[in-house]
């Protein structure tokens, strides 16, 4: 089960992970097998944390995977996941990415 931010619970749906990745990676030059590997890694991790996993943990795993695959896709996903409000949020995230490199 996935524990959502509002406290509700719902079954894990790997399709949601895949759709989020597909949106973030739209028109990006990332090999399909790399995407499939990331989805499989996240799915395996979620089931290893069973019976419950917090949705934020899944989001962090997606962000970590995207950071390694494609920085633009990472920023796209982060902007939704972290609820960016403006350009300063993007600037802060880019600065954080650069400091980790």
Question: pLDDT by residue (tens digit) across 80-93?
Answer: 999 999 999 999 99
Average pLDDT, stretch 23-51? 94
- First and final CA of the chain: distance in angstroms? 34
Average pLDDT, stretch 65-81? 94
pLDDT, the chain, mean = 93
CA–CA distance, 99 with 93 (Å, rounded to integer): 10
Average pLDDT, stretch 44-67? 93
CA–CA distance, 11 with 37 (Å, rounded to integer): 21
In terms of DSSP H, where are the helices of the chain? 14-24, 32-48, 55-69, 71-81, 87-100
- pLDDT above 70: percentage of residues in the chain: 99
89 and 96 Cβ atoms separated by less than 8 Å: no
Q: Does 101 score more than 70 pLDDT?
A: no
Average pLDDT, stretch 50-54? 90
Q: What ranges do the domains of the chain cover? A: 2-100
């Amino acid at each position: 089960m996935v524990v959502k931010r509002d406290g509700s619970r719902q079954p894990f749906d790997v399709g949601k992970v895949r759709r989020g990745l597909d949106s973030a990676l739209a028109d990006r030059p990332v090999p399909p097998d790399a995407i499939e590997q990331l989805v499989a890694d996240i799915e395996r991790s979620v089931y290893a944390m069973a019976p419950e996993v917090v949705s934020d943990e899944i989001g962090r795993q997606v962000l970590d995977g995207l950071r390694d695959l494609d920085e633009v896709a990472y920023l796209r996903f982060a902007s939704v996941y972290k609820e960016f409000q403006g350009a300063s949020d993007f600037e802060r995230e880019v600065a954080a990415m650069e400091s980790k490199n």
